[in-house]
Chains A and B, each alone.
Chain A
Amino acid sequence: MNNQFSIAQRVGLMFRYDQELPQDMEMWIKAQLNAPSPALGIANTYADVAEWPEKLQPDLSQRAHLWRRYRDLKQQQREGKNGQDTEAAKQANRRENLMRKKDELKFVQRNIYGADQVKLRLTAFWANHFTIGNTFDTGSTIGHAIDEGILAKLNGSFADMLYGMTTHPGMLEYLDNVDSAGERSEQAKHCRRKPDCQAGLNDNLGRELLELHTVSVAAGYTEDDIRNAAHVLAGWGVWFDEDLSAMRKNTGTTDHWNAYKKRWAEPGTKKVMGKTISGGRNGLRQLTDFLANHDHTIHYISSKLCQHFVSDAPTKAQIEAVKLVWQQSDGDLQAIHTQVLKLAMTATEPKFMWPMTWLFQVVRLSGATYFKGWNEIYEYQDNLMDSKEVLEELGQSFWSSRQPNGYSSDKEEWLSAEMFERRIRFADAIYQNGRTRRSVNKIMDRIGATPQTRALVASVGSSPKDQFIALMCSPELMGLNYV
């Protein structure tokens, strides 16, 4: 590939079929990091690209309202009240009040039509780092976390992103913190006197905060550290469908992103990995700030960034270069990203593309219209699957129910016949149903395909469909090695 496309593949989503190519790629990357990020998409499959309507992008309190409404109507449906037990009413309830399908389509459309491709790739990296798996209850918050907790915070500090994601209602529900209570909390004391009352610690988020989000197991923390971190976290979060007056009573606010229940909190100071953390609401920020700047965190996440953008097996020098910038900039993400992307630009060996990244790149290069518009979310179309179905079939979706360690960036984890078969099938489906705007030859010329890729395409015969599949599943487009 030529310089523009090989860099756009590694750190972005490829230039769209009709996009003008930048001359200076370093300048381009710099501009990309500060590119505006409107949620671009299409209203229907024949519409022009436009920004998603505001009413389909509710804020957190509107989302909570929709979720409460959904649960209310669902309850009425169970009780057979107010005509809610008809199929039509059930369907209307799902369509009006659930967010997952809308958010997932918006994410996919952004990645296909967005002019902020580098930010979108960084967003995918961090959304994966701070995985919130689907537990149904989190279906209405995952999209918000990705937009407001990650994309909107890409140019701030890692410490801010960490605190934001740790306290996000999606994370607090996914890793079971909303019911966790300190062992000496008022709630736990109160419960001890009542036979049917249960309140105590749940260490799920405390453990993953250390293991996955910050210092990693290499730091050698103890079970006590995990327990103490869980005690710092105890009290944070309420269920997303909590009644607002109860929420106000317990937390003093109706802001779900800042909900701290004093009654559930563990009183007094705690010690985590040698650091003393004060009691009360401010303790968590002390803890996340301490973890954000810990040497083990810096090493672990610098390595992970390199593995995602630079190489399956990054060198020590590459990792050290990122660590140095992290330390010098006090964890400024824009500086860290700039360094990682600089390393990625000069990397020579191929970097395997995630299934979803590859799919977005195929669609952008060919100018296909493979996903429905936002007005068509609930319309069945014979040959265009829902974005939810597409990502599920591919084996990679931020809205799937999955483990908190997220998807691996290591090629080894993706070498599977079924996974590869899906690439073939989607290349086929996109060609047959996506009304592609560019022929295989045009695409190869534009990206500067290598002689090996051209030879592979030529070897499959004259069927344009087979040629399209061969190109998109070539080592060059998948980020693999030639013979």
Chain B
Amino acid sequence: MSKLTIDRRSLLKAGAASLFLAGMPVSGLAKGKAAGRICVIILQGGMDGLATVPPIGDPDLMRMRKAISPENYLPLNDFFGLHPALKFYAQLMARGDASAVHATAFPYTKRSHFEGQNLIEGGGLSPFSEKTGWLGRSLDLAGVSGRSLSLDMPLILRGHHDNDNFYPASIRGSGRPSSKLLEKIAMGHDIEAAQVFNKVARKSEENIQVPRDPASLAQYAGQAMAQANGPLASVIRVDDFDTHANQVYQDNTDEGPLARQLGVVDEVIAGYRRGLGDAWDNTIILTLTEFGRTVAANGTLGTDHGYASVGLLAGGTLAANGVVADWPGLSKKDQFDQRDLMATIDYRSVCAACVEKTLGLEHDVIASQVFRQPDLPRVFDHLFT
């Protein structure tokens, strides 16, 4: 596997190019029809990028977090390894169907879960500044719909009237409601709630039995997305990444919460792969987390809230393989606030590139209308060409 580390200069060049383009007239919103599919896996709690894709070639890594580093990581190249729980993902990488972007973050440095989660889903300039989400706005601009695999409707998908959610019910002693009844109830509500009840009515026509584990939901989502009129985007949440304590257990009956949750992510990606079938070739899957964690281990064999982390990308549309990073280093002086991994790639740019590739929107439109940041650097070429 080739090491695909891009240096700071090439990223700055990408930034300058998009600045230049920002001054050009925008010809139209979309290049044409949405050409692909986009799946977002939200990793809730702040995923530890340094344990997920450990920079084993960095001498500071083991010095600062020996107690919590997995020993049997999978080597990707001389510099980066992969957490052993990501078995399927490793196979995708070997095939050139996956790539990780490292030392990356949304521009948010205050380390609150709830502000961070709101920002990475809302995609505005500050936490709680948006009532809709960046994927929802993208879908609205592209005129296509998306689906969340959750009981709630996550902020990231709000912003397009046709987006919906799916989470199988298991309520004994009740039947599926008739669409006629639901339509009547919808008619009694104001437009906002009526829209929601009408989506229930639409759903009541289908009868889908899917187990509720994330991997099965991902497989179902992949199948739905592969259909002719299916949603072109989906969102799945995996929680429990807030590994303040006992990140890696020494006990061999339990590998600890991080390995467990990364195992779930691996199964979700495998589920998508199975469900998407041939549609895999024009799909991109990306992870999203509110922040990374401290470089050094804390006092309870875990890590506290930090800044940059890693983004896991997979799908047939990726051109990059290996690890894309402008590695900042881990020594005290290279850290953000002398505690966290520094971010050298704006993860909004990565999200924007995935939207550009799959939903066919122009980068400048995404930058200004989705992320409210007209000068957002374009990193498309680093990932897709």
Contacts and interface: CB of A to CB of B under 8 A. Distances in A.
13 contacts: A202-B244, A389-B170, A401-B240, A403-B44, A415-B153, A416-B151, A418-B166, A421-B169, A424-B181, A428-B174, A456-B184, A474-B185, A475-B190
B19 interface: no
B193 A426 contact: no
A452 B196 CA distance: 19
Contacts of B239: 401, 403
A416 B152 contact: yes
Nearest to B128: A217
Contacts of B167: 418
Contact of A422 (B153, B169, B242): B169
Contacts of B298: 200-203
Contact of A426 (B113, B152, B174): B174
Nearest to B192: A415
A52 B191 CA distance: 45
B248 to A, nearest CB: 12
Contacts, number: 183
Nearest to B171: A425
Interface residues of A, number: 64
Given A180-B299, A417-B165, A470-B185, 19 more contacts: A202-B299, A203-B298, A204-B304, A207-B305, A217-B112, A383-B173, A401-B239, A418-B150, A419-B151, A420-B193, A424-B200, A425-B169, A425-B174, A425-B177, A429-B173, A456-B187, A460-B185, A470-B181, A475-B189
B87 interface: no
A459 B166 CA distance: 28
Interface in A165-223: 176, 179-181, 183, 188, 198-204, 207, 211-212, 217, 223
Tell me the interface secondary structure of chain B in the complex: loop
Given A179-B300, A202-B300, A460-B185, A415 B165 contact: no
Interface string A422-447: 10111011001100000000000000
Contacts of A384: 172-173
B300 A459 contact: no
A417 B172 CA distance: 19
A350 to B, nearest CB: 10
Contacts of A475: 188-190, 193
A204 B194 CA distance: 41
Contacts of A204: 242, 244-245, 304
A199 B305 CA distance: 18
Contact of A459 (B170, B187, B199): B187
Interface of B: 44-45, 67, 110-115, 131, 150-153, 164-167, 169-175, 177, 181-182, 184-185, 187-194, 196-197, 199-200, 203-204, 239-240, 242, 244-245, 298-302, 304-305, 337, 339
B299 A223 contact: no
Interface of A: 176, 179-181, 183, 188, 198-204, 207, 211-212, 217, 223, 382-385, 389, 393, 395, 401, 403-405, 412-422, 424-426, 428-429, 432-433, 452-453, 455-456, 459-460, 466, 469-470, 473-475, 478, 480-483
Contacts of A200: 298-300
B278 to A, nearest CB: 29
A375 B173 CA distance: 21
